[in-house]
Amino acid sequence: MNFYRTSIIALCVLFSSFLVSEAAQSGDRRFNSISTAVPSLTIAPDSRAAAMGDVGVATTPDVNSLHWNPAKYAFARTDEGLALSYSPWLRRLVNDMNLLYLTGYKRIDKMQVIAASLRYFNMGNIDFYDSNGNYILTGKPNEFTIDAAYSRLFSEKFSAALAFRYIRSDISSGVSVYGGRAKAGNSFAADVALYYRSDLQLSDKEGTWAFGADISNIGNKMTYTNEQNKFFLPINLRIGASAGLNLDSYNKLSLAVDLNKLLVPTPPERDPATGEIVKGKSPDVGVVQGMIQSFYDAPNGFSEEMHEITYGLGLEYLYREVFAVRTGFFYEHPTKGNRRYFTMGVGLKGEIIGIDFSYLISTYGQNNPLNSTLRFTLSVNFGKKAVKSS
Instruction: List the alpha helices (DSSP H) in 219-316.
Output: 287-293, 302-307
Nearest to 313 by CA among 363, 256, 237, 242: 256
Tally of structural domains, the chain: 1
Range among 127-131, 305-309, 349-353 rated most confident = 305-309
Count CB-CB contacts under 10 A for residue 79.
18
3-state secondary structure of 109: coil
What phi and psi values does residue 187 have, to the nearest 5 degrees? -160, 160
Per the domain annotation, does 319 fall within a domain?
Answer: yes
Per the domain annotation, does 222 fall within a domain?
Answer: yes
Euclidean distance between CA atoms 378 and 165, whole angstroms: 23
Read off the pLDDT of residues 63-111 as tens digits, 9 standing for 90 and up: 999 999 999 999 999 999 999 999 998 877 778 899 999 999 999 999 9
Per the domain annotation, does 30 fall within a domain?
Answer: yes
Domain containing residue 89: CATH number: 2.40.160.40
Read off the pLDDT of residues 335-369 as tens digits, 9 standing for 90 and up: 999 999 999 999 999 889 999 999 999 987 656 78
What domain range includes position 117? 3-385
Tell me the whole-structure pTM to 2 decimals: 0.87
Per the domain annotation, does 390 fall within a domain?
Answer: no
Euclidean distance between CA atoms 315 and 13, whole angstroms: 11
